[in-house]
Structure 1
């Protein structure tokens, strides 16, 4: 079976070209994107949080799965990189872009929980994990990627990944499944 997505979002080629031209190499791959679209589609009128907009490739996959009643908040530390997403996707009223530190945003956010949290950066994954998990609604999904070795990992980061996976597996309030697929994923569903 070929697991290459058969449908891609309309904005994806332009976002990918802009990211490549800028030397941004940390975009979500297409299989992860297809999963994001499916998870977003499973949440009609859902509240979705993306930590790490990057150039917007994950954002466009999420938007492609969302219905008209769903809302997406996408947080990115680097406003220059997020500019690509804002230019291509900013006219969509379902998305709100936030430029700033994801950890600070997580600590300061006081709104309702999210049905889907995609942590595609360090905040919400390797830092501020408890706060990100606290923002997942009961029955909601938390997804992380890039758990296989990646270009640019700092020395010793593999041990951090191992600790993160062990910590998530031990939680009583989430059911986790590791996916040895795409860039290495973990999906966790809040049970309480």
Structure 2
């Protein structure tokens, strides 16, 4: 089996990838992660989704490709330059709302039990404010993080942060946790309580 052959690539993906390379942005999620996000979004028809860390919109495109017409996506990033790339390619899709704000503020201002899926690809909601982010997740909802396998661009103390986060997720009684040493290292959690 070849896991680099994808069933359906979002129609905007290649143009976003091109603009991402031109911009010099190097922190985008890879296609494997995106294809998984698309499947998980498809599993939640009419769902309400949250992406913490829009980046240039690569993961956003994958999420949208899995969503049905009545699903909604809130995508949050505090970097105007990368949001501009995402917006140029995806803002015509009425299902997505881009929020140019700090993820920490967004998390703190959002009501509990709001989202069917959270993709936490930024530090808020992942390395800090984890409890607050998980409270936003409905029972049966998915919480997904990536970049859990060592990366060449990690700062020297980052491995300790990752280890602490993984231990914290595994110790929670409100989640079922699946670690995948695949792509950049993915963790999928389902809130059960």
Regarding TM over 0.5, the answer is: yes
Question: Which category of TM-score, normalised to the shorter sequence, fits these structures?
Answer: over 0.9
Q: Distance in 1 between matches of 2:100 and 2:67?
A: 22
> For residues 112 and 190 of structure 1, do their structure 2 counterparts lie closer, same or farther at Cα, with a shift above 3 Å needed?
closer
Question: In angstroms, what is the RMSD of aligned CA positions?
Answer: 1.0
State TM-score, norm by structure 2. Answer: 0.97
Match of 2:181 in 1: 180
Deviation at 1:152, TM superposition (A): 2.8
Match of 2:3 in 1: 3
CA shift digits 1:2-21 (9 cap, x unpaired)? 01213210100110111111
- Matched residue count: 192
Indicate yes or no: 2:92 matched with 1:87: no
> For residues 171 and 112 of structure 1, do their structure 2 counterparts lie closer, same or farther at Cα, with a shift above 3 Å needed?
closer
CA shift digits 1:35-63 (9 cap, x unpaired)? 00000000000000000000000000000
Q: Distance in 2 between matches of 1:112 and 1:174?
A: 14
Match of 2:130 in 1: 129
State TM-score, norm by structure 1. Answer: 0.97
- The 5 A counterparts of 1:15-94 are 15-94=16-95
Deviation at 1:149, TM superposition (A): 1.8
CA shift digits 1:69-116 (9 cap, x unpaired)? 100000001011111111100010000000111011101123651000
Match of 1:145 in 2: 146
Conservation of the 8 A alpha-carbon contact between 2:113 and 2:135: no
Which stretches in structure 1 are left out of the alignment for 5+ residues?
none
Q: Distance in 1 between matches of 2:110 and 2:139?
A: 18
Q: Distance in 2 between matches of 1:187 and 1:111?
A: 20
